[in-house]
Amino acid sequence: MMENAGYELERLHADVTSLCSRIELLPCRTARDRLAQSEMAKRVANILRVVLSLQQGDAAADPLSIPLAQLAPHISRLPMPEDYTLEELRSLTQSYLRQLVVSQ
């Protein structure tokens, strides 16, 4: 059963990362379209963070265990307004700094 759960998480991870690139390609002709696209991007960023933490298994209880190298490229591609992007980058930077401190 755990094997099956691991496979499902891998499939979910692939689906979510694919969704990241598809959101980027959505045509946005109006402000409402851009707003919808940015809201989808923000939610997908959160889902990706959760999927990556679940893939970490027992370490998932520790939010510092999310592999930032896997998260950052997808977050940076998501079409979000500047304030959302800055919030995400601030969160990634804080997590990275915590990981550096913990590893020393």
Mean pLDDT throughout 4-20?
Answer: 88
Q: Write the pLDDT tens digit of every residue in 62-81.
A: 555 577 778 888 888 889 88
Rounded Cα gap, residues 72 and 80, in angstroms: 14
Query: In 1-104, where does DSSP find H-type helix?
Result: 2-24, 31-55, 68-77, 82-103
**Cβ pair 88, 45 in contact under 8 A:** yes
Q: Yes or no: say if 77 and 24 are a contact pair by the CB < 8 Å rule.
A: yes
Whether the full predicted model's pTM is greater than 0.85, yes or no, is no
Confidence of residue 60 (pLDDT cuts 50, 70, 90): very low
**Percentage of residues in the chain with pLDDT exceeding 90?**
31
